Structure formats: structure tokens, C-alpha cells
Structure 1
């Protein structure tokens, strides 16, 4: 059986309809984006920690792991200035994730992920970019699980 995923035909600049789960994600995304733009690289890296999934953090949860800092966070922090805050969601995609993290690192969780495309500021060239949000099965706070496409 072949499964095809069709792109939304809705205008990319338009806000999509959001459900209750999406609304909680938007709140986290807005806080994350504000923290990204709150200062220099180091202070922003500390400010986003409460909104980033533990699988992207060091074992002691004092910072993001080095790979996340060097790649995902570096790109997101440099480009956050080009996106609307509060965010405008142009597309939502349910992902097939059922768990994230690893038991040996103490950050394993069951749950689901959704990808949210956020619009750029008026006058900024380019398409909306996705952020991935993880929703814990136990009902805990959603967190950003991928930020590297901003």
C-alpha cells in the first residue's frame, strides 16, 4: 500500500485553523521565539532551555548538547529575527513519532510530534519554516524537539 502526503493548498501566508493541542504548541513556540531573540548566543541558549525537549540537552539539563548548540540552535538563533512573533502558523503536520529520547540518558518519553510552519515577517523573502513540537503522552508541557530549519 502506498501512502501519499499532499501539501496544503491553502495560501502560505494564511493562518490555519488550530485545535486545542495546537494552541498549547503555539504558546510554547511564542515563548521559544521570544527567548531566541532575548540576547546574545549564550544568554539565548540559556533562555530557551525550558522550551526545548530534554533529548536536546546535556544529561544534567544545564544546557543544550553541543551538537544542538552548534547546528540547530545556531541557525535558529541567527534567523529568528526574520519570523513573526507572535507566530503565525501556516501549516500543521502530524508526524508518526511515538517516542523520543533514550532511557540511558534519562530523557525517554512516549508521545507524539507535530510540525508547525511559521510565517516570516512582512517584507521578508522566503517561505515559512517548520519547528517540531513534542507532546508527552502523560500530558506534560509540549517542548520543541527540532528547531534547525528556521
Structure 2
């Protein structure tokens, strides 16, 4: 019985120890280390959110900068569960963030991926936190942008998963 408990404890400790090594490692970098094309996509994303007249227009315009799990499997529209939830939240809350964007923190993940099957995209990911306007309560929110590596369709940086944090 003691051997079984020790074995289970050992397995549990190994899972905890190795799980951190399996995940992609993020490194904080300064905002001036973000490539211009990544900053351009960030600004384009915020502009689409704030300038679209309604959520339907926003969902169409977002296709210009979206990739990965944000897209449907045919990559021609936003995924059905993105528009009514995470995109809607960002669309409604973008007005609370500084424009032009003010970057408060950046994490670089050198090799990450998002999506599945036809929407799968890999490359460097910049997780960029942007500041709220003065007098607006709350923490800065992250936007993840990937610089594609060897993707057949996407050659420029794209906004990926994890929208809906604004």
C-alpha cells in the first residue's frame, strides 16, 4: 500500500514538474522590440473594433487581420462561437482603451500555434497588453498577434485566439 501511494505521489510530482516545460516559454520584451508590422496589425485591430458601425461589419472587417481559431474551418468567415461572445466583448469594450494604443507590457513566445486543421498557424506570438483611457477602471488587456512561419496563406502578422479580453 505504501509503495502505491509513493508511486502515485511520484507520478503527480513528475506531471507538475514537466508540465511547465511542455508549454511554450514566454519572455517579456520592451514595446520598442515589437516589429512595425505587428504594431500595425494591433492598431488595425483596434481601429476595426472602434470604427465598425455594428458587430456584423466588425466580423467582416476582422477577417483582414484574424487567423487561427478565430476563423471557421474554411477560413472565409469568423468561427461561429467567436462573433457572439469574444468579438462582441471586444467590439463593445474597445472604446475604453487609449487610441492610438499605449502598450504596457509585451510577452514574446518564439514558437507557438493556434487553430486546428485548415486554420492551424504557427510562428512567433506577441502578447501585447494595451492601456485603458484615463479615468476608466480596470487593468490593461492582452491582444495576441502571431507572425506566421511557413503558412501557405497567411504571410503577414495576424490576431489570434484569446480575443474578448478588452
Using the size of structure 1 for normalisation, the TM-score is 0.79
Shift of 1:121: 1.4
Give the structure with higher Rg (CA).
2
Is 1:27 the counterpart of 2:40 in the alignment? yes
State the secondary structure of the residue aligned to 2:90. Answer: helix
Q: Tell me, which stretches of 5 or more residues in structure 2 are unaligned?
A: 1-16
C-alpha contact 1:83 1:120 (8 A) present in aligned 2:
yes
State the secondary structure of the residue aligned to 2:106. Answer: strand
Is 1:126 the counterpart of 2:126 in the alignment? no
Q: How do 1:1-80 residues align onto structure 2 when only pairs under 5 Å count?
A: 16-21=30-35, 23-37=36-50, 38-80=52-94
Of the three residues 100, 106, 113, the one matched with 2:125 is: 113
Distance 2:126 2:133 in 1: 22
Shift of 1:59: 2.8
Q: Tell me, which stretches of 5 or more residues in structure 1 are unaligned?
A: 9-15
Matched residue, 1:147: 163
State the secondary structure of the residue aligned to 1:124. Answer: coil
C-alpha contact 1:36 1:45 (8 A) present in aligned 2:
no
Q: Could you say what the CA RMSD is over the residues aligned between the two structures, in angstroms?
A: 2.4
State the secondary structure of the residue aligned to 1:147. Answer: coil
Shift of 1:133: 0.8
Shift of 1:20: 4.7
- CA gap of 1:97–1:75, structure 2 versus 1, over 3 A, is farther
C-alpha contact 1:26 1:87 (8 A) present in aligned 2:
no
Shift of 1:122: 2.1
Using the size of structure 2 for normalisation, the TM-score is 0.72
